[in-house]
Amino acid sequence: MADEAVLDPEEEKKQIREEKKALKKEQKAAQKEAKARAKEIAKREDELDDDDAGGLSIAMVTIIIIVIWIAILALLIKLDVGGLGSTVMRPLIKDVPVLNAILPAESSLGSNLETTAEEDPYMGFTSLDEAVAYIRQLEREMSEMQNNSGNDSARVEALEAEIERLQTFEKAQVEFQRIKDEFYNEVIYAENGPGIEQYKKYYESIDPEKAEALYQQVIMQVEKDKEMEDYVAAYSAMKPKEAAKIFEAMTDNLALAARILENMDSDSRGKILGAMDQDVAAKITKLMDPEG
């Protein structure tokens, strides 16, 4: 009965290949989802950058309100309403150039008052109440703009929190990869270690449910090792400057660039790092030696 339960070697190999393909598809789907999420966040940030123009509008409205109030005050002084121009302001600004131009003329105050009132008594408004009402309207609009600006600030804070959360996740992934690599190097791939094939046999012999997750990790590692060999061979065949440009462009996945360089021989690795931008090279070097 035990012999009947053993799979044919060819069937077992076929099953392993199918599992590899399924895992590879799942990895690619996860990477696509992460990239789509990053693009969405970047797009939302760009939209919020456009809202910064609202600050300029608020400033313009504020300036208009100030100018209108100054114009009304200048008009009241010029018309000498309640003696504001002749008795209050004249002693203060009569000797100040430019400002003294708004004072009512001493010799012909009465005639100037009548002429000014007939030509434009309220600086383009039909009444003083209308001017004040317009100012109130501008103040309300400015208040609405400030409220909208507050809402935008809340959205920015939410996006920043999301970015910070993703960065924390990314750091955790890097740390997990470092610990896993250390385990493989010190246990599985150690000089006196049992080797990955023995671990595969062990995983297949234990409880099926627990073995499934462990077995998938081993298969994934085998696939990654093969892909890493292909990466190393491809970049080692390039000129250092060409490889450096590609690594510099991998700003969203410097961890992969670090792993590829780490698996190269020291001579090729040194030439590529030497041809790279100093900041990017420093980040990759830190990833290759997190404790350094």
The DSSP code sequence of the chain is: -HHHHSPPHHHHHHHHHHHHHHHHHHHHHHHHHHHHHHHHHHHHHHHHHHTTHHHHHHHHHHHHHHHHHHHHHHHHHHTTGGGIIIIIIHHHHTTSTTGGGGSPPSTTHHHHHHHHHHH-TTTTSSSHHHHHHHHHHHHHHHHHHHHHHHHHHHHHHHHHHHHHHHHHHHHHHHHHHHHHHHHIIIIISSTTS--HHHHHHHHHHS-HHHHHHHHHHHHHHHHHHHHHHHHHHHHHHS-HHHHHHHHHH-TT-HHHHHHHHHTS-HHHHHHHHHHS-HHHHHHHHHHHSTT-
Last residue of a domain, one of 134, 156, 178: 156
pLDDT category at 275 given cuts 50, 70, 90 is very high
Task: Give the total number of structural domains in the chain.
Answer: 2
Q: Is 178 exposed, middle or buried, given 0-12, 13-18 or 19+ CB atoms closer than 10 A?
A: middle
pLDDT in tens, 60-95: 878 888 888 888 877 777 777 766 667 777 777 777
The per-residue pLDDT for 207 is 58
Same domain, 181 and 267: yes
Q: How confident is the prediction for the chain on average, in pLDDT?
A: 72
Whether residue 87 is contained in a domain is answered as yes
pTM of the complete model beyond 0.75: no
Min mean pLDDT across 68-82, 135-149, 171-185 is at: 171-185
For the cut 80, the answer to whether the pLDDT of residue 231 exceeds it is yes
Last residue of a domain, one of 113, 128, 156: 156
For residues 36-57, average pLDDT: 69
Same domain, 106 and 178: no
Same domain, 179 and 40: yes
* Residues contacting residue 69 through CB under 8 Å, at least 6 positions apart: 135
| CB-based contact 64:138 (threshold 8 Å) | yes
Same domain, 34 and 144: no
Same domain, 36 and 175: yes
Cα dihedral 226, 232, 238, 244 sign: positive
For residues 199-215, average pLDDT: 62
Whether residue 208 is contained in a domain is answered as yes
For residues 12-31, average pLDDT: 76
Same domain, 223 and 175: yes
Same domain, 137 and 74: yes
The per-residue pLDDT for 119 is 46
Whether residue 247 is contained in a domain is answered as yes
Whether residue 162 is contained in a domain is answered as no
Distance CA 182, CA 179 (A): 5
Whether residue 161 is contained in a domain is answered as no
pLDDT in tens, 100-114: 777 776 654 454 444
- Residue 2 in tokens: 């035990």
Min mean pLDDT across 42-51, 86-95, 230-239, 242-251 is at: 42-51
For the cut 70, the answer to whether the pLDDT of residue 15 exceeds it is yes
The per-residue pLDDT for 7 is 55
Range of the domain at 235: 7-49+168-288
Would you say how long the chain is, in residues?
A: 292
C-alpha distances in angstroms, 155 versus 47, 51, 59, 69, 259? Answer: 11, 11, 22, 35, 36
| CB-based contact 218:184 (threshold 8 Å) | no
Which of 19-23, 177-181, 204-208: highest mean pLDDT? Answer: 19-23
103 Ramachandran zone, left/alpha/beta (phi>0; psi -120 to 50): beta
Whether residue 163 is contained in a domain is answered as no
Same domain, 152 and 243: no
Last residue of a domain, one of 123, 156, 189: 156
For the chain, the first-to-last Cα distance in angstroms comes to: 56
